[in-house]
Amino acid sequence: MKLELIVAGAALALISALCIAADSPHSSPTIPVAQNSVQADAMRLEGEKRFHANCGRCHAAPQKFPPRMIATIVRHMRVRATITDEDMRLVLFYMTQ
Interface residues with other proteins (CB under 8 A) are: 1, 4-5, 8-9, 12, 15-16, 19, 50, 53-54, 57, 59-60, 62-63, 65-69, 73, 78-79, 82-87
Q: Least Å distance between CB 41 and other proteins?
A: 20
Q: Least Å distance between CB 12 and other proteins?
A: 6
Opening angle at CA 27, ends 23 and 11, nearest 5: 45
Q: How many residues comprise the chain?
A: 97
- Pick the closer one to other proteins by CB: 36 or 88: 88
Closest Cα to residue 28, out of 89, 83, 81, 84? 89
CB-CB neighbours of 42 under 10 Å? 12
